[in-house]
Structure 1
Amino acid sequence: MAHRFEFTVRSTDIDVIGHVNNAKYLEYMEWARFDWIWQQGFTLDELKRRGIMPVVVNININYRKELHMREEVHAITTVVKVGGKSFVIRHELYNEAEQLVADGDVTMVMIDANTRRSTLLPAELTDALHAELALNQEKSV
């Protein structure tokens, strides 16, 4: 099931043009991503215990509409692709009027915290990712 994360645009997010700075969209997606992965049971403590870390290796983002201070926004996170050591998730940001303001695909690779080399995704995460992917594919049919 798609994960929903809600937040409000803050004054510190605004640039000199008067709208949200482009880099903040990436930060919003990061907030949603951390919340999403924690909901999967992979908190920072759990990741440390396992000696693994998911790292971003690629982000492709589309900016579609401006956001302004105090706007209520929600991020929808879904799974796009699952590999043995990596996965791709999509973030979609929507404004109060339910208009898509930005979307981005994020590729993450699981690495061993000590060697800093890629490692297999934990079985529980792989299972959760595949289950989410199957749900997403059913909805698009």
Structure 2
Amino acid sequence: MTAARFAFTFTVNADSIDELGHVNNIRYLEWCLDAASRHWESLTPKHLRERYVWVVLRHEIDYQAPAFLGEELQMETWVSWSKAAQSERCYTLTRPSDGKVLIRGKTRWCLLQAQDHKPIKIPPEILNLFHPNT
């Protein structure tokens, strides 16, 4: 299954730094969630975003190296699989200056109907956005 990938770069700001002088672990999770939202919004028309919402079932992050104030980072995300109402989204955060992978993560999501918040099988019109070559 080929997945549609989404990436963006940003610079670490002072609000992201903890008392140890590097990026706080919670900030990495926030960046993953931001990547998921940006990817969803970049691929879906407004009517789909109004009809469906995603909720998190599970997060998993492997921290491999720290990031520091002022560094430029690149976040990449893609949906690795989808089945029934669930999908798994992967993340890789790298430091382009040296190619170092800082985190690898996964989130399991569940698709809900926006109106009543009940789980719904992921429709083909959404599957085709995240897995265009299936």
Q: Is the 8 A contact 1:67 1:101 kept in 2?
A: yes
SS in 1 for 2:20: coil
1:51-104 Cα shifts (integer Å, max 9, x gaps): x21111111110000000011000111221111211111000001321100010
**Structure 2: runs of 5+ lacking an equivalent:** none
Where do residues 92-103 of structure 1 align in structure 2 (5 Å cutoff)?
92-95=92-95, 96-103=97-104
Q: 2:84 is aligned with what amino acid? A: G
Q: Is the 8 A contact 2:94 2:102 kept in 1?
A: yes
The aligned counterpart of 2:40 is 37
Provide the aligned C-alpha RMSD in A.
1.7
| Greater percentage in strand | 2
The aligned counterpart of 2:80 is 80
Instruction: Tell me the TM-score normalized by structure 2.
Output: 0.88
How far has the Cα of 1:21 moved from its partner? 0.4
Q: Distance in 2 between matches of 1:46 and 1:3?
A: 19
How far has the Cα of 1:26 moved from its partner? 0.4
The 10-residue stretch of structure 1 (27-36 or 60-69) with the greater mean CA deviation from structure 2: 27-36
SS in 2 for 1:103: strand
The aligned counterpart of 2:21 is 18
The aligned counterpart of 2:132 is 131
Give the alignment partner of residue 49 of structure 2, picking from 47, 50, 55: 47
Q: Distance in 1 between matches of 2:49 and 2:129?
A: 16
The aligned counterpart of 1:138 is none
SS in 2 for 1:32: helix
Equivalent residue pairs, number = 130
**Structure 1: runs of 5+ lacking an equivalent:** 135-141
Query: Aligned residues: percent identity?
Result: 23
Q: Distance in 1 between matches of 2:60 and 2:48?
A: 28
Instruction: Tell me the TM-score normalized by structure 1.
Output: 0.84
The aligned counterpart of 1:63 is 63
How far has the Cα of 1:40 moved from its partner? 1.2
The 10-residue stretch of structure 1 (34-43 or 87-96) with the greater mean CA deviation from structure 2: 34-43
SS in 1 for 2:126: helix
Q: 1:10 is aligned with what amino acid? A: N
Higher relative contact order (CA 8 A, sep 6+): 2
Q: Distance in 1 between matches of 2:106 and 2:26?
A: 15
How far has the Cα of 1:42 moved from its partner? 4.8
Distance 1:10 1:79, change over 3 A: same
